[in-house]
Structure 1
Amino acid sequence: MEKNFSFERSSLPEPVFQERQDFVELYYACWKTAFKNIVHVEKKNWLDFITCMPKSGNIWQWDSCFMVFFLRYSNNTLPSTNNIDNLYRLQRKDGYISMAYRIETEKEAYGERVNPPLYAWAEWEYFQITGDDSRFEKIFPVLKKYYLWLKKNRTRDSGLYWFEDTGSSGMDNSPRSGYASQYLNGSDVCWIDLSSQQALSAFYLAKIARYINKQADEEFFLNEFENLCFIINKYHWSDRHSFYYDVFSRNHPSLRHNFLNVKTVASFWPIVSFVADDEQINALIQHLLDPDEFYTLHPVPTLAKSDPNYDALGAYWLGGVWAPTNYMIVSGLKKHKRFSIARDIAYKHIDAMSKVFQNPVYSGIWEAYSPEFFMPATAKQDGVLVKNDFVGWSGLGPVAMLIENVLGFTFDSYSNTVFWHIANDCEHGIKNLKFNRKSVSFLCSKKEEKRKIEVETDGNLNVVISVEGTDVSLKKKLGKGTHIFHV
Structure 2
Amino acid sequence: MKRRKFYKTLGIAGLGATTLPISCADTSKKESDTSVPDENRYDVPEDVSKRMYDKAIEITKAKIRGGDSEKYFKKPFIDAAFSQNIFLWDTCFMACYAKYHIDELPVYQALDNFYEQMEDDGFICREYRFDGRPLWSKDHPVSVNPPLLAFAETEMYAVSNDKARLEEVYPKLKKNFEFLVSRYQGDDKLFWGDTLGMGMDNLRRYPKDWKPTEGSGLTHHELGEIREKKYGNVTEESIDFFVKEYVNTLQGIWNDEGRIVDFTSQMAAYALQLKQIAKEIGSDNDISNYELFHKEVKAALNTKCWSEEDAFYYDLGFDKPIKRKHIGMYWALLGDLVPEDRLQGFIAHLTNPEEFFRKMPLCSLSADDPDYKGWGDYWLGGVWPPTSYMVIKGLSNVGEHELAKHLAKITYHGVAQVFEATDTFWENYAPDLIAYGMPSKKDFCGWTALVPIALYKEYIV
TM range (shorter): 0.7 to 0.9
The answer (yes or no) to whether the contact 2:44–2:413 under 8 Å persists in 1 is no
Q: Does 1:378 align with 2:438?
A: yes
1:351 has 2:413 as partner:
yes
Q: Which amino acid aligns with 2:303?
A: K
SS of 1:73's equivalent? helix
2:126 and 2:144 in contact (8 A); partners too: yes
- Residue aligning to 1:120: 150
C-alpha RMSD over aligned residues: 1.9
User: Could you tell me whether the CA contact under 8 Å between 1:181 and 1:187 is conserved in 2?
Assistant: no
Q: Indicate if the aligned counterparts of 1:22 and 1:354 stay in contact, CA closer than 8 A.
A: yes
2:105 counterpart residue number: 78
Correspondence for 1:69 among 96, 105, 109: 96
Residue in 2 aligned with 1:156?
A: 186
Measured in 2, the distance between the counterparts of 1:141 and 1:72 equals 21
Work out whether residues 366 and 390 of structure 1, in 8 Å CA contact, stay in contact via their aligned partners in 2: yes
Please identify which structure carries the higher helix content.
2
Equivalent residue letter for 1:245: Y
Aligned to 1:101: 128
Other-structure match for 1:455: none
Aligned counterparts, 1:224-239, within 5 A:
224-239=293-308
Q: Shift of the alpha carbon at 1:186?
A: 2.3
- Residue 77 and residue 48 in structure 1: after superposition, are their counterparts in 2 closer, same or farther (change >3 A)? same
What does residue 244 of structure 1 align with? 313
Per-residue deviation, residues 169-221 of structure 1 (Å, max 9, x unmatched): 10000122275599967251100000000000000101111222222211111
Distance 1:364 1:314 in 2: 18
| Cα distance per residue 1:102-139 (max 9 Å; x no partner) | 022x1121333100001112111211111111112221
What's 1:394 paired with?
Answer: 448
CA shift, 1:24, in A, is 2.4
C-alpha distance in structure 2 between counterparts of 1:191 and 1:301, whole Å = 19
1:269 partnered with 2:338: no
Kept in 1: contact 2:371–2:380 (CA 8 A) = yes
SS at match of 2:338: coil
Alpha-carbon distance in 2 for matches of 1:262, 1:187: 18
CA distance in 2, matches of 1:66, 1:375: 22
Question: 1 CA distance for matches of 2:213 and 2:165?
Answer: 40
SS in 2 for 1:50: coil
Superposed CA offset, 1:302-324 (max 9, x none): 00000000000000000000011
Distance 2:353 2:49 in 1: 25
Q: Report whether the alignment pairs 1:174 with 2:203.
A: yes
Q: Structure 2 vs 1, CA of residues 185 and 155 (structure 1 numbering), >3 Å: closer, same or farther?
A: farther
Matched, 1:215 2:242: no
> Counterparts of 2:93 and 2:379 in 1: how far apart (Å)?
17
SS at match of 2:292: helix
Using structure 1 for the length normalisation, give the TM-score: 0.74
Which residue matches 2:263?
A: 194
- Which residue number in structure 1 is paired with residue 65 of structure 2? 39
Please, which moves more after superposition, 167-176 or 34-43?
34-43
Q: Does 1:136 align with 2:196?
A: no
2:44 touches 2:416 (CA, 8 Å); kept in 1? Answer: no
Q: Secondary structure at the match of 2:101?
A: coil
From 383, 387, 403, the counterpart of 2:457: 403
Amino acid in structure 1 at the alignment position of 2:362: V
Q: How does 1:355-366 map onto structure 2 within 5 Å?
A: 355-359=417-421, 362-366=422-426
Counterpart-to-counterpart distance in 1, 2:56 and 2:204: 31
* Whole-angstrom distance in 2 between the partners of 1:29 and 1:288: 30
How far the C-alpha of 1:279 sits from its partner, in A, is 2.7
CA contact (8 A) 1:177 1:187 kept: no
Query: For residues 333-344 of structure 1, what are the structure 2 equivalents within 5 Å?
Result: 333-344=395-406
Structure 1 CA distance, aligned partners of 2:51 and 2:399? 29
Q: Give 1:226 shift.
A: 1.4
Amino acid at match of 1:243: F
1:221–1:373 distance in 2 versus 1, CA, 3 Å: same
Query: Contact between 2:72 and 2:130, CA under 8 Å: does it hold in 1?
Result: no
- Structure 1 distance, partners of 2:188, 2:44, is 53
**Could you tell me the TM-score, scaled by structure 2's length?**
0.78
Q: Amino acid of the residue matched to residue 90 of structure 2?
A: D
Q: Secondary structure at the match of 1:168?
A: coil
Structure 1 residue matching 2:167: 3-state secondary structure: helix
Aligned equivalents of 2:121, 2:434: Cα separation in 1: 46
Q: Is the 8 A contact 2:386 2:450 kept in 1?
A: yes
1-side partners of 2:277 and 2:187: how far apart?
28
Q: Quick one: distance in 1 between partners of 2:403 and 2:213?
A: 39
| Partners of 1:23 and 1:350 within 8 A in 2 | no
Q: Which has the higher strand share?
A: 1
Shift of 1:75: 5.2
Partner letter of residue 447 of structure 2?
W
Asked whether 1:27 is paired with 2:53, we answer yes
SS in 2 for 1:397: helix
- Cross-structure match for 1:451: none
Separation in 1, partners of 2:352, 2:73: 49
Matched to 2:407, the amino acid is I
Return the offset for 1:45.
6.2
Q: How many residues align?
A: 373
Could you say which residue in structure 2 is the equivalent of 1:303? 365
Q: Distance in 2 between matches of 1:50 and 1:32?
A: 12
In structure 2, distance between residues paired with 1:177 and 1:111: 22
How far apart are the structure 2 equivalents of 1:354 and 1:18? Answer: 7
1:281 aligns with 2:343: yes
Residues 1:219 and 1:49: Cα distance change in structure 2 (over 3 Å): same
Structure 1 unaligned runs (5+)?
A: 1-16, 250-256, 380-385, 408-487
Whichever residue aligns with residue 454 of structure 2, its letter is A
How far residue 278 of structure 1 moved from its aligned partner, in angstroms, is: 2.4
**Is contact 1:181-1:188 (8 Å) kept?**
no
Q: Cα–Cα, structure 1 residues 320 and 149, in superposed 2: closer, same or farther, change >3 Å?
A: same
Tell me by how many angstroms 1:53 deviates: 2.0
- Tell me how far 1:83 sits from its aligned partner: 1.4
Give the deviation of 1:263 after TM superposition.
0.4
Using the alignment, how far apart are the partners of 1:368 and 1:392 within structure 2? 11
8 A contact 2:425–2:448 mirrored in 1: yes
**Larger relative contact order (CA 8 Å, sep ≥ 6):** 2
